[in-house]
Amino acid sequence: MTSSPRLTIDIGKLKHNAQTITTRLAKRGISVTGVTKAILGTPSIATLFLDAGMNRLADSRIENIETMQTARVSAEMTLLRSPMLSQVKRVVHHCHTSCNTEISVIKELSVSAQREGRFHGVILMVELGDLREGIMPEDLLDTVKYTLNCPNITFKGIGTNLACRCGVVPDNQNMTRLSELAVSIEDALNIEVETVSGGNSANLKWALSDQKVGRINNLRLGESILLGCEPLHRQPIDGLHQNAFTLNTEVIEAKMKPSKPIGTIAQAAFGHPPSTTNRGTVAQAIVAIGQQDIDPFGLKPSAGIHVMGASSDHLILESNRNTLRVGDDVTFQLNYSALVRAMTSPYVSKIFR
């Protein structure tokens, strides 16, 4: 029978989302690289990304790319996170391309690629204000020159990543800057910058507006396809499914309890507990899942049920009316942070529909 907790993944809805976004962006001259990290490189989802018209796949973790390679998912694979020096050999072996910001890493990629008798593509990531990975713009040209001189390394283009660390919004200003950098490389070195990758799901609003796209010809998309929403304000994207993933959990305790803890309060299992007000007696239920498997405040229960908190393996709910019973199934929608943890947890079974 059905196991609990379980994450149900609707392949049809994901395919619709992937096709819709890919088609909309194609009209703007922008290709889509499907990002598989939130789904751990699950081959069936990676395959539907390709069926939907994406020409490349990318992941931040070499393990996920190896999973897809082993399953014979046939696509160009890009490592999104700068390779660890300790993993350079694996990266050259399993990825066609990697995103890079450090000369010492590119040098080792070149050494490994020569040893393997392969060519490895390099996309140079540029810092445009979000202060995560990226080469400072004034150092970009020298890094391109260095890359072009590395044996068995192919310079594939440039990219940037915004919004992930500091929430910096992709806009005309930073996207124009990226286009200008591409043009300045071409003018200075008389080469073609093939890929200009503008960013992640946070770029969609800009990319689908009526602003000129300039030289931007690629986006790397994960969250928007999986959850059907844009990550800047977490608003639903028109025409996409927001419920391709559903989490089911099981009630293991249901009791009327005081809303206010009794006794002296210190730290709880996950730091300082939220302050509580006395709301009298409430209908409390515990479902068998916890911080180890999900982000409790990234779960959206159905109307009338509220998430109150969680320890490693207990999630506390309150319901407006005393309706939850032991053994009941409680359904949730998930945000990105709850989804990545549920996908990663070995305690949550994954059901494909």
Catalytic residues: 37
Choose between 216 and 285: whose C-beta lies nearer to ligand PLP: 216
Choose between 332 and 336: whose C-beta lies nearer to ligand PLP: 336
Choose between 88 and 237: whose C-beta lies nearer to ligand PLP: 237
* Strands 349-352 and 305-310, sheet pairing: unpaired
Q: Least Å distance between CB 220 and ligand PLP?
A: 4
Asked if 161 is part of the footprint of ligand PLP (rule: CB under 6 A), the reply reads: yes
Q: Least Å distance between CB 199 and ligand PLP?
A: 7
The site string for ligand PLP over 182-211 (x = CB under 6 A, - otherwise) reads ------------------xx----------
Of 23-31, 218-226, 272-280, 327-335, the window that binds ligand PLP (rule: CB under 6 A) is 218-226
Task: List the interface residues with ligand PLP, window 235-294 (CB under 6 A).
Answer: none
Q: Least Å distance between CB 228 and ligand PLP?
A: 12
Asked if 221 is part of the footprint of ligand PLP (rule: CB under 6 A), the reply reads: yes
Of 41-49, 144-152, 215-223, 314-322, the window that binds ligand PLP (rule: CB under 6 A) is 215-223
The site string for ligand PLP over 44-83 (x = CB under 6 A, - otherwise) reads ----------------x-------------------x---
Asked if 230 is part of the footprint of ligand PLP (rule: CB under 6 A), the reply reads: no
Task: List the interface residues with ligand PLP, window 95-134 (CB under 6 A).
Answer: none
Asked if 231 is part of the footprint of ligand PLP (rule: CB under 6 A), the reply reads: yes
Asked if 223 is part of the footprint of ligand PLP (rule: CB under 6 A), the reply reads: yes
In the 3-class helix/strand/coil scheme, how is the chain assigned residue by residue? CCCCCEEEECHHHHHHHHHHHHHHHHCCCCEEEEECHHHCCCHHHHHHHHHCCCCEEEECCHHHHHHHHHCCCCCEEEECCCCCHHHHHHHHHHCCEEEECCHHHHHHHHHHHHHHCCCEEEEEEECCCCCCCCECHHHHHHHHHHHHCCCCEEEEEEEECCCCCCCCCCCHHHHHHHHHHHHHHHHHHCCCCCEEECCCHHHHHHHCCCCCCCCCCEEEECHHHHHCEECCCCEECCCCCCCCEEEEEEEEEEEEEECCCCCCCCCECCECCCCCCCCCEEEEEEECCCCCCCCHHHEEECCCEEEEEECCCCEEEEECCCCCCCCCEEEEEECHHHHHHHHHCCCCEEEEC
Choose between 81 and 94: whose C-beta lies nearer to ligand PLP: 81
Point out the residue whose Cβ comes nearest to ligand PLP: 222
Of 43-51, 148-156, 222-230, 271-279, the window that binds ligand PLP (rule: CB under 6 A) is 222-230
Answer positive or negative: Cα dihedral of 243, 249, 255, 257: negative
Count residues binding ligand PLP (CB under 6 A).
13
User: Which spans of this chain sit near ligand PLP (rule: CB under 6 A)?
Assistant: 35, 37, 60, 80, 161, 200-201, 220-224, 231
